[in-house]
Amino acid sequence: MWDRYVCAVVGMGCVLSVQTWGLTFLQYATTKASCTCDTDDAAAQLVYQLAQALSYVAMPIGGALAHVAPWRSLRSHAALTALHSLAYAVQSLAVAGAGFMTCSVGAQALVILAQSIIRGVFQYLTALQYGMLAAHFESAPLAREAAVLWYGILASLGSAGFGLLSYALTEANVVSCDAAQFSLTSLAEGPGSVLSPQVSLPSAAGMAGLATVGHLLHSHHTVNRSIGWAY
């Protein structure tokens, strides 16, 4: 069952799940792009809300495009997974506090755009990949069911496991926000309000946990639907 095709599809699915729902630190990206560590800062809140809202708009668009313009070749899926990873890397640079991804309107726009790409591409590819696995084993019903089921299980375990890792990293202050970085810089005339010099944003880890639960439920529903559809 685990031929090269299946390994490629399942591998891409796991990468997509981890980057979309597992190892996520969106709130750090939006606050640092807004030149603050304060999650109550008006600019940071606006960027975060826009990033979340537009990403949830991108998801149904991605799902609709999977039906209207489906690309099922491994090469196209690899290219779109690379785009997904690029958007994730851009957002990660903001989390890391890279100079060009902090304290500018451009950085805020890139964080918002990256989040929309991450969610939209995830929805497009995963909507197709369950069906691709089912079609790959069209003449072998048992293998078809096992492949679709294992895809859902491994993708869900990846998002859940890395969601716990994101929580651990924030709790250990490995991923944190250093207010001193923004003490002399701001988007406007002066610095925004900040918290203590080393601030952990547990709400970011909480969002990752909630997203992981949502993805587990979504995967369970999609697996059942795909198996029934395949038969």
**pLDDT recorded at residue 180:** 74
Closest CA to 154 of 31, 1, 15: 15
**pLDDT recorded at residue 183:** 61
The number of beta carbons lying within 10 Å of the beta carbon of residue 199 is 18
Helix (H) or strand (E) holding 130: helix 105-136
Mean pLDDT of 46-54: 96
pLDDT digits (tens, 9 = 90+) for 78-106: 999 999 999 999 999 999 999 899 999 99
The number of beta carbons lying within 10 Å of the beta carbon of residue 161 is 14
Residue 225 — very low, low, confident or very high, per pLDDT cuts 50/70/90? low
**Which CATH code is given to the segment(s) 4-230?**
1.20.1250
Domain ranges of the chain: 4-230
Identify the sign of the CA torsion 162, 149, 15, 24.
negative
Among the ranges given (52-61, 79-88, 185-194, 210-219), the one the predictor scored with the smallest mean pLDDT: 185-194
Mean pLDDT of 13-36: 94
Residue 209 — very low, low, confident or very high, per pLDDT cuts 50/70/90? low
Average pLDDT, the chain: 82
Q: Taking the complete model, does pTM exceed 0.85, yes or no? A: no
